């Protein structure tokens, strides 16, 4: 298959609270080009082909939430055609090792989130998954939750 569309590789961060009863979700701004106003997980794309997945995870935590993290495990990967490009996204479960997550961060040039919340309710993620959110789809699939 000859696909002339560019490929974007991205990561999303799944963060649980200490007793693993809730996870952190963030809301994208209303002017977001892909998933406006949807809830999902903090995410960012690789800077370039040479950036390692772990580097992207740690950079994402810092620029999107202001925290330092360590990877617990990769939860899964999925691909979607976004029209102008192909998105390949991996969800990583991570643990915060320093800081408290806060949105938005004062980092220019990347999508910043407008809200955050700790929740155990997957309803927002199911809606996002149905509307095309890869981070939500991977998380729900990894937890055997239909959307």
Per domain, the residue ranges of the chain are: 7-142
Residues with Cβ within 8 Å of residue 78, at least 6 apart in sequence: 88, 89, 134, 137, 138, 141
Determine contact, residues 87/10, Cβ cutoff 8 Å.
yes
Q: What is the pLDDT of residues 13-31, one digit of tens each?
A: 999 999 999 999 999 999 8
To the nearest 10°, report the CA torsion of 53, 42, 14, 118.
160
Say if residue 18 is exposed, middle or buried (CB neighbours under 10 Å; 0-12, 13-18, 19+).
exposed
Task: Read off the pLDDT of residues 82-107 as tens digits, 9 standing for 90 and up.
Answer: 999 999 999 999 999 999 999 999 99
The answer to whether residues 67 and 60 touch, using CB atoms and an 8 Å cutoff, is no
pTM metric for this prediction: 0.93
d(CA 48, CA 10): 10
User: Could you report the per-residue pLDDT of 52-87, keeping only the tens digit for each?
Assistant: 999 999 999 999 999 999 999 999 999 999 999 999
CATH 3.30.530.20 is right for the domain spanning 7-142: no
């Amino acid at each position: 298959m000859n696909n002339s569309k560019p490929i974007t590789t991205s990561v999303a961060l799944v963060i649980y609270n200490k007793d693993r009863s809730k996870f952190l979700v963030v809301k994208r701004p209303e002017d977001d080009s892909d998933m406006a106003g949807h809830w999902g997980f903090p995410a960012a794309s690789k800077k370039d082909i040479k950036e390692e997945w772990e580097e992207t995870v740690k950079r994402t935590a810092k620029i999107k939430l202001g925290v330092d993290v360590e990877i617990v495990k990769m939860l899964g990967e999925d691909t979607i055609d976004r029209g102008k490009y192909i998105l390949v996204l991996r969800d990583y479960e991570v643990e915060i090792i320093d800081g408290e997550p806060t949105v938005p961060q004062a980092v220019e040039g990347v999508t910043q989130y407008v809200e955050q919340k700790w929740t155990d309710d997957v309803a927002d993620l199911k809606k996002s998954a149905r509307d095309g959110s890869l981070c939500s789809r991977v998380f729900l699939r990894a937890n055997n939750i239909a959307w």
